[in-house]
A and B are shown apart, each in its own frame.
Chain A
Amino acid sequence: MSATPTARKATPRKTKPAPRKAISAAIVLRLYVAGQTPKSLAAFANLKKFCVAHLAGRYQIEVIDLLKNPQLARGDQILAIPTLVRKLPEPVRKIIGDLSNTERVLIGLDLLPRG
């Protein structure tokens, strides 16, 4: 798994990840996974592809491995794995699944109108 410059992998969460580039409308994403399962790997790969294609330069990804930090599941009310949480901009959005359906991700991130 190769990390993009903006993604930090499975590190203990920082209170507020400082954006490396000054972005006007930053999208802060957090991907929850549980170990290196095929679904997790697929989700990460899909997320990367999606961000490059749709959010070029405007995003920031944090990956949290719940196997290492199980206590973090409570904070973001994580049940399903993998779950992508859009921390910013508010309101919080959650997308569960391996993110293989790009259209659903766009809807989930409010980049496409619902319905």
Chain B
Amino acid sequence: MSKPEQHSRTQFSKVPTGIKGLDEITGGGLPKARPTLVCGGAGCGKTLLAMEFLVRGATRFNEPGVFMAFEENAQDLTQNVASLGFDLKDLIARNKLVVDFVYIERSEIEESGEYDLEGLFIRLAHAIDTIGAKRVVLDTIESLFSGLPNPLILRAELRRLFRWLKDKGVTAIITGERGDLTLTRQGLEEYVSDCVIVLDHRVSDQVSSRRLRVIKYRGSTHGTNEYPFLIDESGFSVLPVTSLSLHQTVSTKRVPTGVVRLDAMLGGSGYYRGSSVLVSGTAGTGKTSIAAHFVEAACRRGERAIYFAFEESPNQIMRNMRSIGIDLQPWVKKGLLQFQANRPTFYGLEMHLTMMHKAVKVFQPQVVAVDPLNSFIIGGNMTDVKAMLMRLVDFLKVNQVTGFFTSLTSGAGVLESTDVSISSLIDTWLLLRDIEIDGERNRGIYVLKSRGMAHSNQIRELLLTDNGVELRDVYVGPGGVLTGSARLAQEAQEMAAQTAREQEKERRKFELERKRKALEAQIAAMRAELEIQEAETLNMLAREQEREKQLTQERVDMGLSRKADVAARLTKDKGKSK
């Protein structure tokens, strides 16, 4: 959680209340040795807050306390807070706590002349001194006004009392009932001006939620928002979640999605650890199945997971998931998987948020699935839901828990919007959609966004098989995007066309071969003819040569016979030899 303001500690010291979350909002606790006013309507938890302040003080910080009760007697008080696990009897026996019940019955009291509240001071001083108390609670001191006459005296005395408490050095909580226009009926805020905390218990759309707000803290910075709180068996818890800043540590580790093909779509290795994943889609597109895959994969790795179910019971989810081959039961038995199933209307949003916080704090899971988010929207509480989810996402991120959320998109709306418009908080957003062709409805999945990874931009067809979710390539071609039987038909068609093309190719090849052979035969014939001609020609040439030789011989013979001179014949021979 956010660090308490360091500088304010140097201004004056604070007393830790020990109440979960309150010390974070106030930056360390209540102002030490000063009175703090806690006000709110009936039943908003003033007494419990005050009592927890004392009990935690006594048990954790070794600061004994005095509880001065003006409304409930010690026995009732002990019984009431026993449900929160506080054992007042034990604390009283160990001198860690004094409960002093101040009983005022207006009808028994008559006023005659001036009086003061010295008796109250003496009682308080006596109680404080007996156990060395450091903390005091006055609950609800305003009942003095109904029990005692003469408000003027009372006001003066209360002012004196608060000053006296300061002098005494005790840290006090004074509770006050909320008035019509003022914080308290008797305007106690005028006297107690150091720290004022307002508790609120409001009901909207039949769902109640408790809020706490520090409206004043003199000399210190504090969270000024309204913080939800709840009261349960372990006491008070306030959620200072919006005080978080964007400084979460970021992991580069990746978490497999549980669906191999989906990992591939997300850059090959799945989600980032500690990121928030949203799966949105219309009804029946397989959101829960993908969530179950993710949770199951986490358990398989030996990690812990919490599945917050808001629409189905754990058994129903397990049965349904078994039908697609995801068995979650063993992981529940092993203690790796925890189901938290509640109707959204069961508590207020704050309570849900707080319950989730507690569950996460206690179980320490690595993976949390929330299915579905938008069931929280009841009536017009959109802004509340968004604020709550933002805090939930923040909380999970800070704790490095990978959050998996599903969101049901109504058919009519734009697919790329969630009902609770939390898309900006989401790191990885998977969109599931129906693809309706030829009287058939199929599921398509694509990654709308995934921060920090090179994710696929392709639509895949999502099939629910006996082995869980499988992703298939969709047919993308001139006929558009086809899925399901249309895809199969198209594939068959393509196959036929392919075969035809293959046959055509074969035929052409054969044809070519035939032509080649024909031409080669032709070439051979021509070559043979050429050879014949060549032979004839050579033959003719040889004959011609022979004839020429013969002619020359005849000429020589003729010369010899005519007795031509020898010299001439000799030179002719020389030239020939050269």
**Chains A and B are bound partners:** yes
Q: Which residues of A contact B (CB under 8 A)?
A: 32, 34, 37, 39, 42-43, 46, 66-67, 70-71, 73-74, 77-83, 91-102, 104-105, 107-108
Known contacts: A34-B118, A66-B119, A92-B108. The answer to whether A101 contacts B113 by CB under 8 A is yes
Interface stretch of the complex, out of B120-128, B304-312, B352-360, B488-496: B120-128
Give CA–CA (A11, B122) in the complex, Å: 18
**Residue of B104, B116, B122, B148 with most chain A CB atoms under a 10 A cut-off:** B122
Report whether A66 and B118 are in contact in the complex, using a CB–CB cutoff of 8 Å.
yes
Report whether B119 and A78 are in contact in the complex, using a CB–CB cutoff of 8 Å.
yes
Nearest CB on A from B124, distance (A):
9
Known contacts: A73-B123, A73-B126, A77-B104. The answer to whether A95 contacts B118 by CB under 8 A is no
Report whether B115 and A96 are in contact in the complex, using a CB–CB cutoff of 8 Å.
yes
B117-158 vs A, Cβ < 8 Å mask (1 yes, 0 no)? 111101101100000000000000000100011000000000
Hey, which chain A residues are within 8 Å of B102, CB to CB? Answer: 77, 79
Report whether A80 and B119 are in contact in the complex, using a CB–CB cutoff of 8 Å.
yes
Report whether B115 and A70 are in contact in the complex, using a CB–CB cutoff of 8 Å.
no
Report whether B103 and A77 are in contact in the complex, using a CB–CB cutoff of 8 Å.
yes
Q: Which residues of B contact A (CB under 8 A)?
A: 100, 102-104, 108-120, 122-123, 125-126, 144, 148-149
User: Of the candidates A34, A71, A95, which one forms a contact with B109 in the assembled complex, judged by CB atoms under 8 Å apart?
Assistant: A95
User: Of the candidates B103, B108, B115, which one forms a contact with A80 in the assembled complex, judged by CB atoms under 8 Å apart?
Assistant: B115
- A-B contacts counted at CB < 8 A amount to 99
Report whether A95 and B111 are in contact in the complex, using a CB–CB cutoff of 8 Å.
yes
Given pairs A37-B118, A83-B119, A101-B112, 11 additional interface contacts (CB within 8 A):
A74-B100, A79-B144, A80-B117, A96-B112, A96-B115, A97-B111, A97-B113, A98-B112, A98-B115, A100-B112, A105-B112
Using CB atoms, name the residue of chain A closest to B109: A94
Give CA–CA (A81, B117) in the complex, Å: 6
Nearest CB on A from B352, distance (A):
44
Nearest CB on B from A54, distance (A):
13
Report whether A34 and B119 are in contact in the complex, using a CB–CB cutoff of 8 Å.
yes
Report whether B123 and A96 are in contact in the complex, using a CB–CB cutoff of 8 Å.
no
Using CB atoms, name the residue of chain A closest to B70: A79
Q: Which 7 A-B pairs have the closest CB atoms?
A: A108-B110, A97-B113, A100-B113, A70-B126, A104-B112, A81-B118, A98-B113
Hey, which chain A residues are within 8 Å of B117, CB to CB? Answer: 79-81
Report whether A81 and B113 are in contact in the complex, using a CB–CB cutoff of 8 Å.
no
Report whether B115 and A83 are in contact in the complex, using a CB–CB cutoff of 8 Å.
yes
Hey, which chain B residues are within 8 Å of A77, CB to CB? Answer: 102-104
Give CA–CA (A83, B120) in the complex, Å: 12
Give CA–CA (A66, B116) in the complex, Å: 13
Hey, which chain B residues are within 8 Å of A81, CB to CB? Answer: 115-119, 122
Give CA–CA (A102, B112) in the complex, Å: 7
User: Of the candidates B100, B116, B125, which one forms a contact with A39 in the assembled complex, judged by CB atoms under 8 Å apart?
Assistant: B116
Hey, which chain B residues are within 8 Å of A70, CB to CB? Answer: 122-123, 125-126
Hey, which chain A residues are within 8 Å of B104, CB to CB? Answer: 77, 79
Using CB atoms, name the residue of chain A closest to B157: A80
Report whether B108 and A96 are in contact in the complex, using a CB–CB cutoff of 8 Å.
no
Give CA–CA (A67, B119) in the complex, Å: 9
Nearest CB on B from A77, distance (A):
5
